[in-house]
Amino acid sequence: MQNHKSAITFKDYLTLHFVVLIYGFTAILGQLITIHTLGLVFFRTFLATAGFFIYFKIRGISVNIDTKGKWQLLATGGIVIALHWFTFFYSAKISTVAISLAGISTTSLWTSLIEPFLNKKRIKPIEVMLGGVVVFGLYLIFLFEFNHVWGLALGIASAITGAIFSVLNGQFAKRYSPQIITFYEMFGVAITTIIPVLYLFFFGDSTIKIIPEGLDWLWIAILAFVCTVYAYSKSVDLVRIFSAFTFTLTINLEPVYGIMLAYSIFGEKERMTSGFYLGTLVILGSVLIYPMLRKFNV
């Protein structure tokens, strides 16, 4: 049997890094979009759900699954993922893209702690040790960026909810395709967020902008169709080409790309103290070394 790795081309590597670059761009789009975060999450998921529905129709893929599965996926999207995206984008809005991405970069290690709990497995000592290193990295950021404490806290909250739905999706993936899972979960987010969006529109403060205008529609369309539908669909293809180790390691570079993009676009607004970069380096170092340790069964 032919080794799948021998078929990997330079174009495949470029595509993989391009997808990670797109993921890193999501927080920047969140900064560019001027409407309230709830409106941002709703319109993103509504358009992405519509985009996936069209994709399914073109590919002739049925969206019908068992009733129990539908409710589980809708609930995961409507509660966990809705909180994940709200805290992620709101973190960037009240602080900076760099702060938000520093918080979200802890997702892999939160997953390593939450997965054994939800799946009733033993926590590995190396994961506890790396978790302690991440806490130290966060301490350095808090110490030097105390004025962004709420932004970082929300980024960490986003990472924790991201870890929860990643573990749940691992369970769902045994029964459903990744595209079906994402379709129903995004639909769940749209259903949940439309209620507060309608409340803010009809009864909220008139200064709160909830409906996109002008360039907002462009940024939200890019967020929905490029950063969600395209990037996710392409990542499903890529995970079949690359080993899980290579894929996970590369995806963990999202905060690096995101922070570099943010600085190149927003300039001085994204300049942080040396303590921030030191703390972020500690976190990213832990995140990047984790899959290597798992590969060698450390």
What would the DSSP string read from start to end of the chain?
Answer: ---GGGG--HHHHHHHHHHHHHHHHHHHHHHH--S-HHHHHHHHHHHHHHHHHHHHHHHT------HHHHHHHHHIIIIIIHHHHHHHHHHHHHS-HHHHHHHHTTHHHHHHHHHHHHTT-PPPHHHHHHHHHHHHHHHHHHHH-GGGHHHHHHHHHHHHHHHHHHHHHHHHTTTS-HHHHHHHHHHHHHHHHHHHHHHHHHHS-TTS--S--THHHHHHHIIIIIIIIIHHHHHHHHHHHS-HHHHHHHHTTHHHHHHHHHHHHHGGGG---HHHHHHHHHHHHHHHHHHHHHHTT-
Q: Which token pair is 289?
A: 């070394």
Q: For position 271, what pLDDT does the model report?
A: 73
pLDDT at 217: 96
Which pLDDT score, from 0 to 100, does residue 298 have? 56
Work out the burial of residue 59: count CB atoms within 10 Å of its CB; fewer than 13 is exposed, 13-18 middle, 19 or more buried.
Answer: exposed
Would you call 122 exposed, middle or buried from its count of C-beta atoms within 10 A (0-12, 13-18, 19+)? exposed
Identify the CA nearest to 56 among candidates 182, 174, 194, 239.
182
Rounded to a whole number of angstroms, the CA Rg of the chain reads: 19
**Residue 18 sits in which domain range?**
4-295
Tally the domains of the chain: 1
The pLDDT value given to residue 4 = 46
User: Computed from CA positions of residues 140, 144, 145, 146, in that sequence, does the dihedral angle turn out positive or negative?
Assistant: positive
Predicted confidence at residue 222, as pLDDT, reads 95
123 alpha-carbon distance from chain centroid: 24
- Whether 13 contacts 165, CB under 8 Å: no
pLDDT under 50 in the chain at which residues?
1-6
- Position 196 scores a pLDDT of 94
Q: What is the pTM of this model?
A: 0.82
Taking the CA atoms of 32, 154, 233 and 74 in sequence, report the sign of the dihedral they define.
negative
